[in-house]
Amino acid sequence: MARYRNPWVGLSVSAWSLGLEAASVVGMRTLKIAKRGVQGEAESRLMVREKIDAALALQSMLLTGGLGVTPASAASKTLTHYRRKVRANRRRLANE
């Protein structure tokens, strides 16, 4: 990520980028779920489980100090946490 004087500018760009990536994953998942059947149902269950697991992991990071001490570091580490999850899903769905 490019360096900006104000960390919130870079975080805004990163959040926007993550939003675009997440939208592509939503599209791929929607297509898979729309096909219905066993694979669609499995994808729905996986999606819900992953969202719960990601939120619990982030909460654990927050409670143990893993997000840092400044609002900017917490935002940055939160974006990094979710970006890993989104990218993993994008790779998995693109290969199916």
For 7-60, the pLDDT digits (tens) are: 899 999 999 999 999 999 999 999 999 988 899 999 999 999 999 999 999 999
CA dist., res. 25 & res. 54, Å (int): 16
CA dist., res. 90 & res. 64, Å (int): 29
Q: Give CA angle at 57 (51, 60), nearest 5°.
A: 140
pTM assigned to the model:
0.86
Domain boundaries, given as residue ranges, for the chain? 23-94
